[in-house]
Structure 1
């Protein structure tokens, strides 16, 4: 069994913001693989489905980002999942918008959702799917930046991740992160936006 976790903040205020990219990608994966509708459990939206015969749980915590680990920890304990069974989808300001990296373990990079999950699991050894949202411009606070929406010029990059990452999920579930990255990197990433596309002064 595997668990997919899509990080974000609850409520319409945060919908389609950079910080909710992990949640948005998980919803696309659920649609892509036609998982049954889920319900409310473990402090979030929860459900399951099957990919290549393997049972896959999914979870969107409905706590705020810095408490995401409460929901993940509760589900992991109930189903006796180890950190190695858990795959977390999250935004990453250290990657350019549209860029993706995948790894097992490591630090939290200042991401409060990852920090909370690590605390509640007692281990950093879960898989991270890092979704690039770009760095804030000079003078713009990081928290303000990730809680804002994508600029018009960034929308094609965001949509590219949501389109081309769901098909590589079976490789991720099998632990073939290199194969998944190769598949994603073969897709034609749109050109990055110019300064005129930025909403920041």
Structure 2
């Protein structure tokens, strides 16, 4: 049995809930909804965690060979995401190869999705923090496109702004598709997930 840690990258609290920077939280929330799993805040872990299983191609699956899946929303701010990831990984004995970071990606247009393992942080402070705390970049990333800021708008202001009301329907589709990609990654591996979802 494998234990997976699927961490959504974002900032805690209602102020940030619909920010572009919080799309990782949105995907993890969708995964928890599918699994009928409830978030709790384990003592000392600095995160909200929903625990479920993956078996027979679905979250919430049963069976002696079901993998354990921890769905994680750090309570730290983005720049310190790695502190929560490191604590949970150490406590549950999760190898970096079984850590999946779900995050916003400026270099992909909305509606596009990419999965990969390893690589740099591309200026993303959440990824940078995870790399620093795990002392490796060899974890999976599910990159959810949010596009570049319009005109001369600063990147930080863009990422910390909400998705517009007119974008919410498309956002729901993107979040659902990213959740599908995570499930395929858990069940069938990176190559199969890339073949099905990279665009």
In structure 2, list runs of 5 or more residues that go unmatched. 56-65
CA contact (8 A) 2:114 2:198 kept: no
* Mapped partners of 2:197, 2:97: distance in 1: 22
Q: Which residue of 2 aligns with 1:121?
A: 134
The DSSP-based 3-state class of the residue aligned with 1:40 is: coil
Q: Which residue, out of 55, 67, 70, partners 1:54?
A: 67
Q: CA deviation at 1:182?
A: 4.0
Answer whether contact 1:32 1:166 (CA < 8 A) is retained. no
Question: Is the CA contact 1:47–1:57 (under 8 Å) kept in the aligned structure 2?
Answer: yes
The number of equivalent residue pairs is 185
Aligned pairs for 1:102-117 (under 5 A) are 102-117=115-130
Q: Where in structure 2 are the equivalents of 1:162-201 lying within 5 Å?
A: 162-174=175-187, 176-184=189-197
Matched, 1:92 2:95: no
Gaps of 5+ in 1: 187-201
After superposition, the C-alpha distances for 1:51-76 in whole angstroms (9 at most, x for unaligned) are: 10111112110111000001000111
In structure 2, relative to structure 1, the CA distance for the partners of 1:10 and 1:172 (3 Å cut) is: same
Partner of residue 20, structure 1: 22
- Does the 8 A contact of 1:67 with 1:113 survive in 2? yes
Residues in 2 aligned to 1:134 and 1:177: alpha-carbon distance in whole angstroms: 24
User: What TM-score does the superposition give when structure 2 sets the normalisation length?
Assistant: 0.87
Alpha-carbon distance between aligned partners in 2 of 1:47 and 1:12, rounded to the nearest angstrom: 19
Preserved CA contact (<8 Å) 1:48 1:58:
yes
Q: Secondary structure at the match of 1:25?
A: helix
Cα distance, 1:176 vs structure 2: 2.4
